[in-house]
Amino acid sequence: MPVVFDIGDGSQDALLVRIRAGGHEGWGECEASPLTSIASYICPMSHSACKPLQYSVEGKNIDAVEDIKRISESVHEHSPDLLQSDHTLSGIDIALWDLLGKKLNEPVYHLLGHKKNFPKLPYASQLFGNTAEETFAKARNTNAAGFHAVKFGWGPFGKSGVEPDIAHLAAAREGIGKDAYLMIDAGTVFREDVDEAKKRLQALEHINAYWFEEPFISGALDAYKKLSLSDPKIPLAGGEGCNNFVQAQAMIEYAGLNFIQIDAGRIGGISIAKRVADLAVAKNIIYVNHTFTSHLALSASLQPYAGMEQHLISEYPVELKSLAQEIGKEKIIPDNNGHIYAPDRAGLGITVNTDRLKKYLVDVEIKVKGKQIYYTPEL
């Protein structure tokens, strides 16, 4: 976007990945800092375990699911000390699945082994208002738009004491009505401070919160676990900050979560997200996508658990900036029952609207030793 605001809205910029191979094209999206991720793709090698991602990607064949797995494993083998690599790999992996699906004329969820495409209940995901009145107005609008579930998060929550938080929580419940699912997202505001988070539990119980999300930073296993054992008992959700499988595994096994939330654009793509979804089934914990960007990202995030009937809930962004809105020609829209589905089209089923995106394209140039090693490609 021409102007990026200092708010928790992840749709204000976008890093798209386009991969071409064998006459086919795939698109993916990283939920990550664009410039930093680009740098990780083309940087000079530091040593054997800190290679740029292009080392594992370019010139490879993409004919079968195994080829995607091989690229993902190569990145993990050759770039583990390049911290940004998992975020960058995410968009690459998503683009590879899109490409392979188009080549084989199959939706990605089929290629992942899902037999059926089950309905998901989208929750309207949005930021708290700056005041409780604004939160109330937003909740009313969401109710009027027909959503049966809604999430409020970030904004002022946790930043100015318990009383204002209680007012926001009450306003949210009042605005959406007593029957809708209401999720609350603290946006990691309490860091590792269990006592501060505990002070909100009573109010969360009072509004019948469906879950309490990310009270703490990702990976703060002890803090999550302690809160999960506190009274009153509010179901906990977290995991969007995980950038690899073992981090998500730790959150599932040690954090006392009821919901594991995975962003395919951060965890290493659809391949790793599917591994987490399988683990969630095995460990009897509910898998939920994390998505706060485009419908290309939304499609990617639905694929890993499209065939998991019991895992019903889906994050659905409703406050997208125009950039994120214009990325996909097709939209994933709730049907008459209020449900959404992974697109039943080849690949991710979303055509990237390159014409509409030209106006947002940012020229980036990177030179090392006077030699240009990156320039923003043509759309």
Binding site for a second copy (CB under 8 A): 4-10, 12-13, 31-36, 38-40, 42-51, 76, 80-84, 86-87, 154, 187-188, 191-192, 217-222, 241, 243-244, 246-247, 249-250, 253-254, 266, 362-370
Work out how close the CB of 246 gets to a second copy at its nearest, in angstroms, rounded to a whole number: 4
Kindly tell me which of 145 and 368 has the beta carbon lying closer to a second copy. Answer: 368
Work out how close the CB of 364 gets to a second copy at its nearest, in angstroms, rounded to a whole number: 6
Kindly tell me which of 190 and 210 has the beta carbon lying closer to a second copy. Answer: 190
Kindly tell me which of 134 and 174 has the beta carbon lying closer to a second copy. Answer: 134
Work out how close the CB of 297 gets to a second copy at its nearest, in angstroms, rounded to a whole number: 14
Work out how close the CB of 349 gets to a second copy at its nearest, in angstroms, rounded to a whole number: 26
Give burial (CB, 10 Å; 0-12/13-18/19+) of 74.
Answer: middle
- End-to-end Cα separation, the chain, in angstroms: 17
Give burial (CB, 10 Å; 0-12/13-18/19+) of 58.
Answer: exposed
Work out how close the CB of 142 gets to a second copy at its nearest, in angstroms, rounded to a whole number: 21
Q: Nearest Cα to 169, choosing from 144, 199, 195, 194?
A: 199
Beta-carbon count within 10 A of 13 CB: 17
Kindly tell me which of 167 and 250 has the beta carbon lying closer to a second copy. Answer: 250
Kindly tell me which of 179 and 365 has the beta carbon lying closer to a second copy. Answer: 365
Kindly tell me which of 23 and 370 has the beta carbon lying closer to a second copy. Answer: 370
Kindly tell me which of 45 and 145 has the beta carbon lying closer to a second copy. Answer: 45
Taking the C-alpha atoms of residue 22 and residue 39, their distance in angstroms, rounded to an integer, is 26
Q: Residues 342-356, buried b or exposed e (16+ Cβ, 10 A)?
A: bbebbbbbbebbeeb
Work out how close the CB of 148 gets to a second copy at its nearest, in angstroms, rounded to a whole number: 27
Kindly tell me which of 156 and 343 has the beta carbon lying closer to a second copy. Answer: 156
Kindly tell me which of 221 and 312 has the beta carbon lying closer to a second copy. Answer: 221
Residue 72 dihedral angles phi and psi, to the nearest 5°: -60, -45
Residue 260 dihedral angles phi and psi, to the nearest 5°: -110, 120
What tokens does 255 get? Answer: 């954090």
- Ordered alpha helix ranges (H), 24-161: 34-42, 54-57, 65-78, 85-104, 108-111, 132-144
Taking the C-alpha atoms of residue 282 and residue 295, their distance in angstroms, rounded to an integer, is 29
Query: Three-state SS for 278?
Result: helix
Kindly tell me which of 14 and 180 has the beta carbon lying closer to a second copy. Answer: 14
Work out how close the CB of 110 gets to a second copy at its nearest, in angstroms, rounded to a whole number: 27
Taking the C-alpha atoms of residue 71 and residue 26, their distance in angstroms, rounded to an integer, is 15
Work out how close the CB of 83 gets to a second copy at its nearest, in angstroms, rounded to a whole number: 5
Computed on alpha carbons and rounded to an integer, the radius of gyration of the chain in Å comes to 20
Taking the C-alpha atoms of residue 197 and residue 179, their distance in angstroms, rounded to an integer, is 25
For 125, the enclosing helix (H) or strand (E) is strand 121-127
Q: Nearest Cα to 294, choosing from 213, 220, 356?
A: 356
Work out how close the CB of 5 gets to a second copy at its nearest, in angstroms, rounded to a whole number: 8
Work out how close the CB of 316 gets to a second copy at its nearest, in angstroms, rounded to a whole number: 18
